[in-house]
Amino acid sequence: MSQSAVSFQISPVSNAQDQMIQQKIDLKTKPLGALGLLESLALQIARVQGATLPQDTLKIVHPTLLVFAGDHGIAAQGVSIAPSEVTRQMVQNFAHGGAAINVFCRQVGFKLEVIDCGILTPVEDVEGIINQRLGAGTEAIHLAPAMALNTVDKGFAMARDLIERHHQAGCNLIAFGEMGIGNTSAAAAIMAAIMQLDVADCVGRGTGINAETLALKLSLIEQALQLHQHALTGPKAVLACLGGFEIVQMTGAILAAAERKMLVVIDGFIATAAALVAVKIAPNVRDYLIFAHQSDEQGHLRMLDFLQAKPLLSLGLRLGEGTGAALALPLIQAAVNFYNQMASFSDAGIEAVV
């Protein structure tokens, strides 16, 4: 398949067995709905995994978290508290096991992989970093398109191959995180373009910028949307004009994982921007997405509402890296375990309270 023809065939999940699944959940030894979001999560997982009989069990196999890293031309304008060099330094930190995402993945049982999608300077002679570079950082989006349209397809093709490797290894749940100084600017621009919102409703303080820097960030993103307004003809064009190399590959990975009927765990603001684009490309993707948390970034709740998503956690996180997605894994496993293992009223000889 040529890169210009990358497309994804994503089937909707079936809700034909919803009544059976819901009855199994309802007859557990608890009041109706007493496990809250874990119940709707168990229903979603059962749909994705094709449960057809009450005795069918759910499972999480080889859960894997991918961190996509890339640099952004707009960062040179000072829209973050940190310079672009920090992206590379953090990628090294991931490879050496010292970041928050490493700690959390070790704690909860996620396998972690780090993908260099296009940081300014590659990390040499360090094991554990996968090279899927699309360039040395994007163009500054307020001055030019972030990348060429065929670069988006190249990124999608790379992401599909990456997901296929994990699918072949038996992985059935994959989570996504990111690292890239300036990427909240790209995500906010994508959000404004996809959701047709004013930039002021989308732009937040990212890593903790002050009011002056926030005003600069807002102005540059408004310039970017004005510059590209006639080119934003579809979701791939939005990525090409406004995105980042890591956001492109994350979008492609979301599409590829849904194509393979894997559960897809979405982290925070930047990962949700990628999910916005993926759902715009293929609406059936939404069936496979689990939203880990509501981040502290200003526009994230609005994004989640747009996607009709109820996040599992709300911890005030704004770190990125996939940290919220990692912390959600025990809750996902809890939904699977109660569905598989919790006694029904008849099993336990208890009079039903439903």
Q: What is the pLDDT of residue 351?
A: 83
Q: What is the pLDDT of residue 29?
A: 96
Q: What is the pLDDT of residue 2?
A: 41
Catalytic, 321? Answer yes
What 92-95 contacts at long range (C-beta under 8 Å, 24+ apart), as own/partner pairs, is: 92/123, 92/126, 94/67, 94/69, 94/128, 94/129, 94/179, 94/321, 95/123, 95/126, 95/127, 95/128, 95/129
Closest CA to 329 of 25, 124, 127, 105: 105
User: Which candidate in 178, 246, 297, 321 is catalytic?
Assistant: 321
Q: What is the pLDDT of residue 151?
A: 98
- The pTM for the full model equals 0.96
* Burial readout 267-278 (b: 16 or more C-beta within 10 A, e: otherwise): bbbbbbbbbbbb
Residues linked to residue 178 through DSSP beta bridges, in sequence order: 68
Query: If you search the block for the tokens 């608890």, which residue do you land on?
Result: 30
Tens-binned pLDDT, residue by residue, of the chain (354 aa): 344 568 999 999 999 999 999 999 999 999 999 999 999 999 999 999 999 999 999 999 999 999 999 999 999 999 999 999 999 999 999 999 999 999 999 999 999 999 999 999 999 888 889 999 999 999 999 999 999 999 999 999 999 999 999 999 999 999 999 999 999 999 999 999 999 999 999 998 887 899 999 999 999 999 999 999 999 999 999 999 999 999 999 999 999 999 999 999 999 999 999 999 999 999 999 999 999 999 999 899 999 999 999 999 999 999 999 999 999 999 999 999 999 999 999 998 998 765
